[in-house]
Structure 1
Amino acid sequence: MSSKNSKDKDNRRRRRSSSLMYQEPPESLEQQSDQAVLPNLNAQWVNAKGAWLIHIIIILLLKIVYDIVPSVTQETSWTLVNITYMFGSYLMFHWVRGIPFEFNAGAYDNLNMWEQIDNEDQYTPAKKFLLAVPICLFLVSTHYTHYDLAYFMINFLATLAVVVPKLPALHRMRLAFLNPEPEPTDR
């Protein structure tokens, strides 16, 4: 039984326990061939007609919803819109890995949605837009909160949490305390 446990440990990708950040290794040849052959339906929608407009519509709907709530000031409303959009954006583009479809044999299991968009190319129009939206929302929310320091810091930290993972320097980088230890692989 101890030989089985040691074999399981050897089959796992190991990283140093003291490392707070690690880089996701490149895909195997099999995964690369699966990615080349099968379309990635999970990330193709960002280039579809109307996909960019939905972000603006979501922001406007969030603003309307928070304005309807009684006793919520304009400053608080804009800050809540910013935080809600940033939380949803982070969850959708940077937290969840893989795709919800089973037809691609796990070809994208190690990549989050941001890394899947446009076949991992940087500075594409879709990625520029998705980077600009949180920055513009931050600027709008900062303006409408009248540059109050408390609101500014909340909005700034929320924006920072979404913009920093989108930077090319952090492509395939993971924070060890936010990502679980990889599962053992069968060989």
Structure 2
Amino acid sequence: MPFDAAQAKRRRSSSLVYTEPPESLEQLSDQSALPNLNAEWVNAKGAWAIHIVLIIAGKILFDIIPGVSQETSWTLTNISYMAGSYLMFHYVRGVPFDFNAGAYDNLNMWEQIDNGDQYTPAKKFLLMVPIALFLVSTHYTHYDLTYFIINTLATIAVVVPKLPAAHRIRFGLFSGPPDDYK
């Protein structure tokens, strides 16, 4: 029976939590051959400022909606940023450009940033932003229990996948369709 690379990548367990295996030598050589344009923008000039601009723009957008209180506006800003951050950095895998022969197909953007190194300046900043937004939104919601729980859950959902202990860990419910359905 010939070896099928697609079958080798399939998850065999029905477990909800699994660890993404390390790359093969071929994938590692593909990753080092060309720069990863999908993750290099994080270290570009002005890339950090866009996070602050997006948060401020979201806050202004929610403030101009009639009938939305300041507490609700801050909570919506927090949830919106957290949802966008989770989707962008942790949910989507691979690279949208077809230039690297699928070298990053099994990695999400967070794992691609700085070649997977932990505690780089970019990763520290991207970990700090959700925490700071949580603290600000909690303060401006006057520590109301309902808003606090909502903001806490949104923040946990974004901060935990950024921790080194969660590197290459996948949750079956949130990791997208298995390879069988692609």
TM-score class normalised by the smaller sequence: over 0.9
Deviation digits for residues 129-154 of structure 1 (CA, Å, limit 9, x no counterpart): 00000000000000000000000000
CA contact (8 A) 1:15 1:22 kept: no
Answer yes or no: is 1:60 the counterpart of 2:44.
no
How far apart, in 1, do the equivalents of 2:108 and 2:11 lie? 20
Q: Among 150, 159, 163, which residue is 2:159 paired with? A: 163
For residues 139-175 of structure 1, what are the alpha-carbon distances to aligned partners after superposition, in whole Å with 9 as ceiling and x for unaligned? 0000000000000000000000000000100100001
- TM-score, normalised via structure 2 length: 0.93
Q: How far apart in 1 are the matches of 2:6 and 2:29?
A: 27
- Shift in CA distance, 92/9, structure 1 to aligned 2, threshold 3 Å: closer
- TM, length-normalised to structure 1: 0.90
Q: Displacement of 1:16 after TM fit? A: 2.0
Of 24, 27, 31, 1:31 maps to: 27
CA RMSD of aligned residues (A): 1.9
CA shift digits 1:74-96 (9 cap, x unpaired): 00000000000000000000000
Q: Within 2, Cα distance between the matches of 1:58 and 1:92?
A: 14
Larger Rg belongs to: 1
Deviations, residues 54-100 of structure 1 (Å, cap 9, x unaligned): 00000000011110001100000000000000000000000000011
Which letter does structure 2 place at the counterpart of 1:157? L
Output the CA distance in 2 between the equivalents of 1:28 and 1:154.
41
In the TM superposition, residue 178 of structure 1 has moved relative to its aligned partner by: 2.2
Secondary structure of the residue aligned to 2:18 is strand
Counterpart in the other structure of 1:15: 12
Q: Secondary structure at the match of 2:170?
A: strand
What is the aligned residue count?
179
Structure 2 partner of 1:146: 142
